[in-house]
Amino acid sequence: MLRAPYRRYSRLYTYHLDAPCRLPGDDPDLIGVWPEDDGCVLFFHRPKDNLVAEICRQNGARQVYQADLDYDDWEAGRQVASFTVAGLRVAPVWEEGPADIRLDPSVIFGSGFHPSTRLCLEMLGKYQQSPEAGIHSVLDLGCGTGLLAIAAARGGARRVLAVDNNSLACQVAAANCRLNEVEEIVTVSETDLRRHCPDTGSFDLVIANLYQDLLGELFQQEIFWRSRLLIVAGFIEPMEEKLLGLLPAGRLRLLERNRRERWCVWVLSNARGFCER
């Protein structure tokens, strides 16, 4: 995350280690630590070869990869700048001018510059503006930066739970909620969805912008389908057939399917619950 003296991201210096590591002190050049199953990735604003060598020595870790890149390249070559979706103007914290949501994207996914996230924003805005939908509570599975959760709060949700298994993502999402003054509406929880899926039945809407394999696992759990309305994304067209085959038969209605740059989003209703509400 950004902190003094830094006001924006320029270059990223990344160090991939083969073991979880504890960092000594509080280095002002540190952006964050991305945990992985068997290691971690350290992100800095400046080169830190000597520091990382010391971290490896103290933690019994080995550096397996190192890279430096332009920050825009981290976002797949997309320039990190303000944009408007569903009537909401989203801007990075370093950009001046009016904005409905200000975001420190850090090095976390879900910053709004990927087609999948924008599709989710569009569908969220559309259905929150529909009086028939009655969306007062939202569950955001794989919240990343917290953008969709914040947008849900901005759109009128009174209770939002934002879930991610990445501790750095949870830190960034919580900071962005405070920045946008929705921390009393949005609760951020570090949860591994592979081990525990929250009960979706206590939410009007579930947003699941996740990778295909995790979606496939969740699709096979009854607890995932208890919400009245679901926005599902994070997959491209060739993946659709497999995912469609995992939908529970006779339970759901496909209300909408949209695409952008081959990325897909579905809006699904739990047919009985959506009609009864």
Domains plus CATH for the chain?
11-74 (no CATH), 108-276 (3.40.50.150)
- Would you state the pLDDT for residue 25? 73
Per-residue burial over 199-209, b if 16 or more Cβ lie within 10 Å, else e, is ebbebbbbbbb
Rounded to whole angstroms, the Cα distance separating 274 from 229 reads: 7
Handedness of CA 110, 115, 121, 123 (dihedral sign): negative
Quick one: which H or E segment has residue 220? none
This prediction has a pTM of 0.94
- Would you state the pLDDT for residue 165? 95
The order of strands in the sheet holding 88-92 is 83-85, 88-92, 101-103
169, 172, 175, 176: CA torsion to nearest 10: -100
Quick one: which H or E segment has residue 154? helix 147-154
74 or 198, higher pLDDT: 198
Mean pLDDT over each residue of the chain, to the nearest integer: 92
Widest CA span of the chain, in angstroms? 62
Rounded to whole angstroms, the Cα distance separating 210 from 239 reads: 13
Quick one: which H or E segment has residue 33? strand 30-36
Tokens 């190192």 found at:
66
- Would you state the pLDDT for residue 47? 97
Say yes or no to pLDDT of 274 above 50. Answer: no
Q: Which of 40-49, 67-76, 167-176, 183-192 has the least mean pLDDT?
A: 67-76
Say yes or no to pLDDT of 130 above 60. Answer: yes
With cut-offs at 50, 70 and 90, classify the pLDDT of residue 276: very low
The set of long-range contacts for 236-240, using a CB threshold of 8 Å and a minimum separation of 24, is: 236/262, 236/263, 236/264, 237/262, 237/264, 239/212, 239/264, 240/264
Q: Strands (DSSP E) along 45-100, which ranges? A: 63-70, 83-85, 88-92
Q: How many Å from the N-terminal Cα to the C-terminal Cα in the chain?
A: 41
With cut-offs at 50, 70 and 90, classify the pLDDT of residue 171: very high
